[in-house]
Amino acid sequence: MAVSVDLPDPTSPFRPIHPRHKQDIAHRLYLGARALAYSETETIYRGPFPKEICDTSGHQIKVKYQFDNIKLLSEDIFEVYCSENTSSEEEEEADSEDGWIRVNQVIKTDSTSLMLTYQCPGNILATSLRYIWKDNPCEFKKCAVYGEKSDLPGPPFKLKVNSSCIL
């Protein structure tokens, strides 16, 4: 598998599901084959993925990525789920589009971390975070988070925000 969410082709004569940028997708699949099938441990074949998502209390979330150093190209693709409920009921609610709001600000704090600022209504805190969770979420090779060395995009995710992290 290869992440191709940053390779949209809305004007493709074959409809957007069949982009014309096959070389980019092929290169990403090639990297995966080298790393997995041929056990080339030095080959980077995937973009950054969160290792830890922590509420720093005060309407800020720190996202620490694993693997690659990250580069930030955009700030408008992260969303938080605002809820007072922290039970399994909240998980069902988070599957709907209601309650999701766009993050106000994204700042790269070091080579592997981002600080996200958000504002939920009242004193409600974010319980989940999602990234590129829309159809055609970003323009061609302009998603928010890429690997610094690999130039590969981070994949879409929807994860719980941990309120008990040690920062």
pTM: 0.86
Query: How far are the Cα atoms of 19, 96, 116, 121 from residue 92, in angstroms, in the given order?
Result: 33, 7, 24, 20
- Residue given tokens 């408008």 in the structure block: 76
Alpha-carbon gap, residue 48 to 65, rounded angstroms: 6
pLDDT in tens, 5-18: 898 888 888 876 77
Detail the DSSP E strand segments found in 4-162. 50-55, 60-65, 70-72, 78-82, 100-102, 105-110, 113-117, 126-131, 145-147, 157-160
Q: Are 61 and 38 in contact (CB under 8 A)?
A: no
Q: What is the pLDDT, as a whole number, of residue 92?
A: 56
Q: What is the pLDDT, as a whole number, of residue 139?
A: 87
Tokens of 70: 């990250």
Which domains does the chain possess? Answer: 47-160 (2.60.40)
Q: What is the pLDDT, as a whole number, of residue 134?
A: 76
Q: What is the pLDDT, as a whole number, of residue 108?
A: 92
Alpha-carbon gap, residue 104 to 88, rounded angstroms: 27
Q: What residues of the chain score a pLDDT lower than 50?
A: none
